[in-house]
């Protein structure tokens, strides 16, 4: 059995400066071909060591294996033309030049399976691996073939399921799907978003997670957050249906956010990865601040279902800040673990 309040991160961690330019989101690789393969493996060794030194219980590749959390996966599929680009509005928030779906999409070879096998060979700790979710994938493409967001999402769900089954076989313990789009397209989430996610996890025996956040601390996101008012109730739209879904864990943004913490009651019974680290700020939380967020969440999540986590990925932060935040997460979780143990003794 895993220890109480096992810590993990939502996704990305900073890359070493020899692999890509630091403190920059979606920074291009500095290496090529075999040197890149070796560089990614070395970066996985480094990020693993940093997570373990900080006492993070459920480790990951820190997304050292990808340039972009969605595009890198899509680059490996056929049917998407990266030369043919169109400008589309992403998550209803910002315009971006994106590749075009020009034919039937398919996965002809595994995408991250070799990377996952490599990480599995480096540690006995539980591993969480992130993949983009179907709805977030379709939202970063121009579709000239299926001409239906739903149809394309079902195609990607099938492809994601193929990849997920092989990641499971490679020894991954938790497969996470990143669905920031779940915070934007509520009708679609309820009509087919959760259904396509359940298709992506079909037949898996390992644990599954969905990460729903308010994004990295980039300007498009912080500007959008300013329009959301003082209370962020987006989760309220999707939680009732997520609660009834087959997904095991739900990863949320909680620290320094305007999400009313009592919304977590709507997913009572699920395992919840509670974001207790703000990724949009360079200020390193104190362990006590982390503990305070976890204590609030404990009103709505049973202790054996609470997974202390970060709000989102930390790729754009400096390595020093990210290390400090990992340490704070561990220390904050330990404070609350001790309190829970003391309560148990007293009872
Ligand atoms: Zn996120």
Q: Encode pLDDT of 22-39 as tens digits.
A: 888 889 999 999 999 999
Residue 1: the pLDDT is 55
Q: Any residues with CB less than 8 A from the CB of 155 and at least 6 apart, and which?
A: 104, 105, 146
Ligand 1: distance of its center to the CA of 16 in Å? 21
Mean pLDDT over 98-113 rounds to 97
Residues 43 and 19 sit within 8 Å (Cβ to Cβ): yes
Residues 238 and 188 sit within 8 Å (Cβ to Cβ): no
Helix, strand and coil content of the chain, in percent to the nearest 5, comes to 45, 20, 40
By C-alpha distance, which of 80, 185, 95 is closest to 143? Answer: 80
Ligand 1: distance of its center to the CA of 253 in Å? 8
Residue 92: the pLDDT is 82
By C-alpha distance, which of 142, 145, 58 is closest to 106? Answer: 145
Question: Given a cut of 80, is residue 143 above it in pLDDT?
Answer: yes
Tokens of 149: 């967001």
Q: Any residues with CB less than 8 A from the CB of 121 and at least 6 apart, and which?
A: none
Ligand 1: distance of its center to the CA of 215 in Å? 5
Higher pLDDT, 346 or 295: 295
Mean pLDDT over 9-19 rounds to 96
CA distances from 132 to 21, 68, 159, 197, 259 (A): 23, 10, 11, 10, 23
Ligand 1: distance of its center to the CA of 179 in Å? 8
Q: Encode pLDDT of 298-328 as tens digits.
A: 999 999 999 999 999 999 999 999 999 999 9
Ligand 1: distance of its center to the CA of 251 in Å? 9
pTM summary value: 0.96
Ligand 1: distance of its center to the CA of 69 in Å? 10
Rg (Cα) of the chain, in Å, rounded?
19
């Amino acid at each position: 059995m895993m220890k109480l309040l096992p810590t993990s991160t939502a996704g990305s961690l900073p890359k070493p400066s020899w692999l890509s330019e630091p403190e920059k989101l979606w920074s291009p690789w500095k290496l090529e071909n075999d040197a890149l393969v070796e560089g990614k493996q070395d970066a996985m060794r480094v990020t693993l060591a940093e997570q373990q030194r900080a006492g993070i219980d459920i480790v990951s590749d820190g997304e050292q294996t990808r340039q972009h959390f969605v595009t890198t996966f899509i680059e490996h599929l056929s049917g998407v033309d990266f030369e043919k680009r169109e400008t589309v509005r992403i998550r209803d928030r910002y315009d971006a030049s994106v590749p075009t779906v020009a034919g039937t999409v398919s996965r002809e070879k595994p995408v991250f399976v070799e990377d996952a096998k490599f990480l599995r060979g480096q540690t006995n700790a539980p591993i969480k691996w992130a993949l983009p979710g179907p709805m977030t994938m379709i939202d970063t493409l121009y579709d000239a073939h299926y001409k239906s967001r739903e149809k394309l999402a079902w195609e990607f769900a099938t492809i994601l399921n193929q990849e997920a089954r092989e990641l499971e076989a490679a020894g991954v313990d938790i497969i996470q799907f990143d669905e920031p789009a779940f915070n934007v397209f509520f009708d679609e989430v309820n009509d087919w978003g959760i259904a396509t996610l359940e298709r992506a996890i079909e037949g898996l025996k390992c644990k599954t997670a969905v990460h729903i956040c308010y994004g990295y601390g980039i300007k498009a996101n912080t500007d959008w957050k300013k329009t959301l008012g003082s209370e962020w109730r987006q989760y309220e739209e999707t939680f009732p249906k997520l609660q009834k879904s087959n997904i095991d864990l739900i990863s949320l943004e909680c620290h320094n956010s305007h999400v009313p913490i009592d919304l977590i009651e709507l997913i009572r019974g699920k395992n919840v990865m509670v974001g207790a680290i703000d990724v949009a700020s360079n200020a390193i939380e104190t362990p006590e601040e982390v503990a305070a967020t976890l204590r609030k969440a404990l009103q709505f999540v049973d202790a054996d279902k609470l997974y202390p986590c970060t709000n989102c990925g930390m790729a754009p932060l400096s390595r020093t800040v990210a290390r400090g935040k990992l340490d704070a997460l561990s220390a904050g979780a330990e404070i609350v673990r001790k309190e829970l143990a003391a309560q148990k003794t007293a009872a």
